[in-house]
Chains A and B, each alone.
Chain A
């Protein structure tokens, strides 16, 4: 790997290949390490220090969250109704499964079980994509409803959460649909395609208008709700970026595992990537209750 690190004593033998040291040549042991154990431990300390910087990186957002929630608890209680606990919980489970497979990949690598290493890495990647897929469902719902951060927070009336006398009563569109009798509405027979489209549009319009009325009757929306969505998007977004980075690292591991790079003496990369992946899981473990489970 690093041929620049040979000592002066090695240099004469070293001229051509960069591999002329005293011990039998082992491509998996970098020259500047005494043993595989030293190499592994050095890398391990390195990844732990990296994880420390990750925690501090995220702590800025957790700090913003803590201060904002301390100052405006009512904003968090109101805004969390815009998030779907179901998808949050499903994503938690998906990440926990991926953590299990990542830990299992490390075990397989330690035991030199290449088949199971590849299998577990693949499962981890599948779960990671599953997580991002669910996140996409959630994000696109928010784009659709107009619940975006800061100045972009312009929800459609039908997407607004209604609170009356401090009690959550539901989403305006759902209540409007119920009161207008448009829950799973039937299409009258004998309409042309154009007429059907017009009817669908008219119904949607009616729901928006009725929702706007309901929004007027409900408690006013607490100020600075847009800031909740800034915090939500930044926290989950930064976490999502980490998931993408994890996927890239996993693909790199997958390629190397298939090539047979990893042995019980040389599996550092698998272990370190798994540690990073567990940290991504660990941060989500806190994000889930902090964002989705506010009561």
Chain B
């Protein structure tokens, strides 16, 4: 790529950008800045962020390919630079996955926490009364635990059969 595309403009060590190209790229960047401000004013939720990022990426490409000469540079330099974006993307995206997963866990746990607490309290209570049958039933699941109807369940439980506890 570099050899053919840059041939005409090669003065010595590296490609030289013509004034026409420099100003053209700059004008495009200014126009895109105006465009992104304009689209933000349209309130295109939920696409606004995607549109803004697409425009920003087009601008970033213009800067990288022309102002930073990547289009005419040794491909290896471009590869090295691109890799930084790959690693940054892995960093950000995986962190977001992780946060997303933990959010569900945190939400679930905070919902479940009072139930677990109650479950524990019931076991302790029943243990104090010495009803080992009921405790064993709760632990092995043969007596379902109903946290909202806890009082009733505790009363019905000593009778021992599934019908009494499973309302």
> Which A residues form the contact surface with B (CB < 8 A)?
36-37, 40-41, 44-45, 48-49, 51-53, 55-56, 59-60, 62-63, 66-67, 70-71, 85, 89, 92-93, 96-97, 99-100, 102-104, 106-107, 110-111, 264-265, 267, 271, 274-275, 278-279, 281-282, 285-286, 288-290, 293-295
Contact = CB atoms under 8 A, between A and B. Distances in A.
Interface in B73-89: 73-74, 76-77, 80-81, 83-85, 87-88
B1 interface: no
B30 interface: yes
Q: 4 tightest CB-CB pairs across the interface, nearest first?
A: A59-B88, A293-B40, A289-B52, A52-B84
B100 A40 contact: no
B63 A99 contact: yes
Given A107-B16, A293-B36, 9 more contacts: A45-B76, A63-B95, A104-B19, A111-B16, A264-B12, A282-B64, A286-B60, A293-B52, A294-B40
Contacts of B83: 52
Contacts of A271: 14
Given A286-B60, A289-B40, A40 B77 contact: no
A187 B22 CA distance: 53
Contact of A278 (B22, B68, B77): B68
Given A100-B26, A285-B56, A110 B11 contact: yes
B45 interface: yes
Nearest to A92: B33
From DSSP, what is the main secondary structure of chain B's interface residues?
helix
A104 B22 contact: yes
A60 B91 CA distance: 8
Interface band, chain B: 35 or more
A111 B95 CA distance: 47
A168 to B, nearest CB: 10
Contacts of B36: 288-289, 293
Contacts, number: 142
A110 B23 CA distance: 18
Most buried by B among A49, A63, A264, A267: A63
B37 A93 contact: no
A52 B96 contact: no
B40 to A, nearest CB: 4
Contacts of B53: 286, 289
B104 to A, nearest CB: 12
B52 to A, nearest CB: 4
Interface in B32-56: 33, 36-37, 40-45, 48-49, 52-53, 55-56
Contacts of A293: 36-37, 40, 48, 52
Contacts of B63: 99, 278, 281-282, 285
B67 interface: yes
B30 A265 contact: no
Given A271-B14, A282-B60, A63 B92 contact: yes
